[in-house]
Chains A and B, each alone.
Chain A
Amino acid sequence: MVSLNTVAPAAASPRPGLSETGVAIDARVEKIYYGDFLAVRDSHVAVEKGQITGFIGPSGCGKSTVLRSLNRMNDLIPSFRLMGSVTFLGQDIYAKSVDPVVVRRHIGMVFQQPNPFSMSIYENVAFGLRLNRFKGDYDEKVETALRKAGLWNEVKDKLRQNGLALSGGQQQRLCIARAIATNPTVLLMDEPCSALDPIATRIIEELMLELKQEYSVAIVTHNMQQAMRVADKTAFFSVDISKGGRTGFLVEQGDTRQIFHDPREKLTKDYISGEFS
């Protein structure tokens, strides 16, 4: 049976003042459907406060699907249906009374494909600030976000240039700057480094390590070394093709060290040893 390994106790919390459980997002997915297609089942995933949670697993196992359910991005897909619950700081984000727009303002997202807006670099980063009617020093916020994303030095002289004129890797860092400019509580990242070179990847990884002082981060990655380097907790998903379908599920979640060095499940062990052999 799948181990629905729950979250570690509050002691793991790296900074004081957090609520007891230390869980920012607690997702109890029973089933996720796209139309009739059962994409994910029985996955209880937690994103802990002040930590980085890595999602790993083979292609098509539903990592993106689960990640995008955490801030209701999947609501854009009409055929999407979720059974179960997702709570964010104790509140059910799929409750009728909750506006997905508000959820997404608190839980930011960086996508696999860079997707800057067709506007200046500055306006891309200031987008969320304007959207949230921020009153304050825009220049400073924009600079801070760009610095954190490791892009400032490359763009400081051309902030008025269109964001689409940057290289793919620069665009991705711009998207990260855009997402963090508004200080969201949680940042979800879906393979954010797949378009980046090793240097930019390192910058983003350092950024993530820095971000976790203030935010909680969940990251999907195919790069095991990356998961080992940055993730405090790791969730391993696999895909079940036994009943003719292709249904993803959580195999286990735990401390990254434990998942990589002492996995409880054979599936995990096989996947990881396949990767490192």
Chain B
Amino acid sequence: MSAEGFDLKGDNSISRPPSRGEILADRAFRGIAYASGGLVVAMLAYILWEIGGQAAPAIARDGLGFLTRAVWNPQEHDFGILAEIWGTLYSSILALLIAGFFGVAVAIFLTQDFLDARLARVFRTVIEMLAAIPSVVFGLWGIYVVIPAIRPVANWLHEFLGFIPLFSTPMAGPGMAPAVIVLAIMVLPTVAAISQDAFQLIPYKVKEAAYGMGTTRWEAIQKVMLPTASSGIAASLVLGFGRALGETMALAMLIGNSGQISLSLFSPANTLASLLASQFPEAGALEVEQLMYAALALLGIALVVNIIGTLIMAMSSKQTVS
């Protein structure tokens, strides 16, 4: 290393090369960092391998047809998860639209001097506490509060605006709308917290530059702060989307667990995660293979979303820095 072979003894200098111990500590730390990184990759690979292995018979049997048909008929061994894929993506995207809008709004509200710093911290903590509420509690709240509250509105919308595909079915009970509302609330803390960090990372001099040009507060936020924070906001949306894709318990309780493909917000539907949760307990050996295949599909969707998100962020940060 450079410490040896470069022996400059300045007469009065306090500078000295790092000691053996310091060099060792540096190497050890680097080793641990690499090992932890490697472990994470190895875990992911192992999980994929394990699930893939158990799903292999089903993949051999059904091929890609499993992903493109919507049936779940254990009696006749006829399986296809298109409806669940649809339900997973549809519910996650809708929830992300809502949580993205409110999460970024909350982040702006809490970081752009609308509140004094202490009050903003209190608010932030309260919102982060939402993330600590167990999923099953959200599910119960959805069943006993959200569904009764939105049913009259939903049925009114269906009656008068039923020609719009979003409102094309009446709402009997569990379905897409309550699931999406609860899911949005569950995803909100993730989006809000990470967006807030993105806003807080903007140096003060950028804000000064904006006001120095004569922007109003709203213009400063809209034309300078939002674009500057955009890659962090994109990261918050990707993480929020990942959360929404995998959310299981609350959705299993609220979405109606019925494999239908419908644009209607009031129709029951199903997601991959809640399919797994609801079918596993009574699944026979054959069905378990099918469920493993479904799990693999869910993992694949999550990976694809993350990769797309990373690419978007890489592109936007390329715009920012190079």
Interface residues of A (CB under 8 A from B): 71, 73, 76, 101-106, 108-109, 111, 113, 115-119, 127-128, 130-132, 161-162, 164-165, 175, 178-179
Binds A, one of B24-32, B139-147, B215-223: B215-223
Q: How large is the interface on B (under 10, 10 to 19, 20 to 34, 35 or more residues)?
A: 20 to 34
Complex: how many Å from CA A101 to CA B210? 11
Q: How far is the CA of A131 from the CA of B223 in the complex (A)?
A: 9
* A76 contact set on B, CB distance < 8 A: 207-208, 211
Partner of A131, one of B205, B208, B213, B321: B213
CB contact under 8 A between A115 and B208, given known A165-B321, A165-B322: yes
Q: Could you show 13 A-B contacts with beta carbons less than 8 Å apart?
A: A104-B211, A104-B212, A104-B213, A115-B206, A115-B208, A118-B206, A118-B320, A128-B214, A162-B322, A164-B320, A165-B321, A175-B209, A179-B212
B211 touches A73 (CB 8 A): yes
Docked complex Cα distance between A116 and B109 (Å):
24
Task: Kindly count the residue-residue contacts between A and B in the assembled complex, taking CB atoms under 8 Å apart.
Answer: 68
Give the residues in chain B near A161, CB-CB below 8 Å.
322
The interface residues of chain A, by DSSP majority, are classed as: helix
A-binding residues in B (CB < 8 A): 203, 205-216, 219, 223-224, 227-228, 319-322
Do B206 and A109 touch across chains, with their CB atoms under 8 A apart? no
Across the interface, which residues of A come within 8 angstroms of B224, CB to CB? 117
Q: Which residue of A lies closest to B319 (CB)?
A: A162
Once the chains are docked, how many angstroms separate the CA of A168 from the CA of B284? 67
Q: Specify which chain A residues have a CB less than 8 angstroms from the CB of B228 in the assembled complex.
A: 117-118
- Cross-chain contact A164 with B321 (CB below 8 angstroms): yes
Given the interface pairs A131-B219, A162-B319, A165-B321, the reply to whether A119 lies near B227 with Cβ below 8 Å is yes
* Cβ 8 A contact of A117, one of B209, B211, B216, B322: B209
Q: Residue among B206, B210, B211 with the most chain A CB within 10 A?
A: B211
A119 to B213, CA, bound (A): 15
Q: Is the CB of B209 within 8 A of A115?
A: yes
Q: How far is the CA of A73 from the CA of B212 in the complex (A)?
A: 7
